[in-house]
Structure 1
C-alpha cells in the first residue's frame, strides 16, 4: 500500500527517524518557561543540561540515544526488503509493528519499567530481523 507515493514501510522509516526528537522533546518537556538558573532548559549548553537531568528526564534522553542507535538497522532492513521485492503487505505490517514496539519501549523506558522495556526492545529487534527475511 502506498500513501503519498511511499509505502507504509517507508513511512515507518520516517516515523522511526523522528522518534529520537520526540524523546528529546519529552526530556525537555515543561522546562522552557523556567529560567536557566532555576534548572530550566539551557539552549546554550543543551548536552550538559541533559547530562544533569535525573529520573524520567534522564530516561527520556537515554531513550533518545537508543532510538538513534536502532535507526540504521531498521532503515537498512526496510530498504533491503524493498530491494528484494518482498511481499509488501507483510513488510508494511512488520514495519508498523516495529514502530508500535518502539513507542511502547519509549513509554516503558520513561516509566522506569526496566524488564518490560527490555522485552519490548527485544521484540522490536526480532521484528527488525524478521523484516530481512520476509
Structure 2
C-alpha cells in the first residue's frame, strides 16, 4: 500500500479523535448520554462544541480526499511521490484545522480549510 492510501485510513480515523474530545473534554459524557449521543453532542458548548463541529467537518471532507487519492492512483499520470506528498500535506492540514478549531482561531482555521481543499483539487490537477 502506498503512503497516500494509508493517509485515507488516517483521514477516516481523524473524526473519531474529535469525537473523543467532544464527548470527554467536559467530563459529562456517561452511560446516560450514550442513549442519545447526538442530542448530547448538540448540547455542548465551548471547546467540546468546537470539537464536535470539527468532527462533522472531518466526516464531510474525507470522501472527497479519498476520491481524489483514488483518482490520482487510477489516472496513472502523477508520480507516486507527488501523490504521497500531497496526501501527507492534506493530513497535516486536517490536523492543523482541528487544532485551530479547538483553539477557536476562526480566521486561521478557515485559511487551513482552504489549503486542504486546494490540496484535494491538486490531486486532480497533477493527474491530468
Say if 2:32 is the partner of 1:40: no
Partner residue, 1:18:
13
Q: CA deviation at 1:45?
A: 1.1
Runs (4 or more) in structure 1 with deviation over 4 Å come to none
> Please, which runs of 5 or more residues in structure 1 have no aligned partner?
1-5
Q: Which residue, out of 53, 56, 75, partners 2:47? A: 56
Q: Is the 8 A contact 2:7 2:88 kept in 1?
A: yes
For 2:22 and 2:102, locate their aligned partners in 1 and report how far apart those are by CA, in whole Å. Answer: 9
Query: Counterparts of 1:92 and 1:80 in 2: how far apart (Å)?
Result: 13
Is 1:101 aligned to residue 113 of structure 2?
no
Please tell me the root mean square deviation across aligned C-alpha atoms, in Å: 1.1
Alignment coverage as a number of residue pairs: 123
Match of 1:118 in 2: 110
Q: Shift in Å at residue 29 of structure 1?
A: 2.2
Give the Cα–Cα distance (whole angstroms) in 1 for the partners of residues 106 and 12 of structure 2. Answer: 23
Any gaps of 5 or more consecutive residues in structure 2? Answer: none
Structure with greater helix share of residues: 2
